[in-house]
Structure 1
Amino acid sequence: MRKIFFVLLGLLLTAWVTACAPKKDLEVEGKKLVSLKPPFTLMLPSDFNLIHSFSHENPEENSLTRVYFLIKTKEKQVEEMFILQVADKTNPQAGPMTMPPLKPYTEKRLYSKGKVKKGELEGEYLIQSMAWNPEAPSLQPIVKKGFVIPSRWALQGQFLFPYQGEHAVFFRYSRDVHSFGMKVSGKGEDWEKGLISGNEKRVHETFQKSYMEMINSIQIKNP
């Protein structure tokens, strides 16, 4: 089971040709996201719409992967994205799921990472800047629905946590840096460690605060 999340992340490349995931396992009520399998809730930073889902079996890994795409738009243009991935163990005889540590896309840009432990919740987070690429295969499920993903810099937060060895949950939330109401640079070097300042730094701090609030809102429900 050690490769489970390498497989899970790669599955996004074929998201639009796989079967739909059962939406009964996930509910979105305004800003509240409710997962029924595994059972947990969290408060999203904004009101999102669930626009696409899919599932894929991984026989070699004894698991089933479910992926859900949620977006917030302004006139059909994406401002925020939330992608939730859940791996379910399908073989009771297999060992507990293990997960690799989160790593930044590059060490040059400012990023922060750490661990969260609150009650039964124990996971790892990573916050960084990155570039949205509307031609990326992983984003085609959104593009094919008729939504526009701008080629812009965005801030992204990742969070990864296991659930009783039977499930692994990974979500990525990203937001267009131009959606904060401040004039910011579109140059990658202005978001690098040691160089970031002014509005870029303020936007990064605002995003980090809202992202950590979302993580801290997670409530694990015992079946």
Structure 2
Amino acid sequence: MALPVLLVHGIRVSRTMWDPVVGRLDRPAFAVDLPGHGSRRGETFAMAAATEAVADAVDHVGGRALLAGLSLGGFVGIAAAGRYPARVAGLVAIGCTARSTHLARLYRAAAALAARFPAQANQFSAYAFRRALPPPAADAVLAGGLTSEVLPAVVTAVAGHDQLGALAGYPGPVWLVNGDRDPFRADERAYLAACRDGRLVRLPRTGHVTALADPVRLARLIEDAAAHAERQDRTRSAI
């Protein structure tokens, strides 16, 4: 059986974000809702709970998978790879190479405001997604609903997690993928240096959320990473 792919969504959206990519992969592919998002709205978000959700989903698809995540999904993917390396055959971490301390300073106030006025924050977010993305991609992002009330817990959880330490402890292949216009690529060289088997991929003329604008390109990148991780697994099994 081909190595499955597990996809992890961004902040305040849900697993439906990945629907356009799932349909273009040539292997089993699944997406998971994190606590506080989508079908798990109302649950408390914490990094431990998020990585457990990922590990449970990997177990459901056979016990080992390639993880691919965007933004929050990338941060959670890094944490899950560090915590459960035997379950993660490879990691594609998209738009998540800014140091968490920098993110906390930038986003704590905005997150608190969004949580205080979640309906208005959701409306603004929906407008922003529809402005940034073509209709099929925006429809997929919004299909599972928005949960802006979860933002403060997410910012606290990401800021409190040692992303570079998790990468340094993970032995498998890592693809750090950034749009060349994405501010979240600020510390990509430090993240790459932390990887034991890492590579950096730049997406031209691409920002943060606009990585979702081209699901064909994303599917091809994830498919190539999964095939590489699959070959590495076969090589290790043959030794």
TM-score bucket (shorter structure): under 0.3
Greater gyration radius? 1
* Larger helix percent: 2
* Larger strand percent: 1
TM-score, length-normalised on structure 2? 0.25
TM-score, length-normalised on structure 1? 0.26
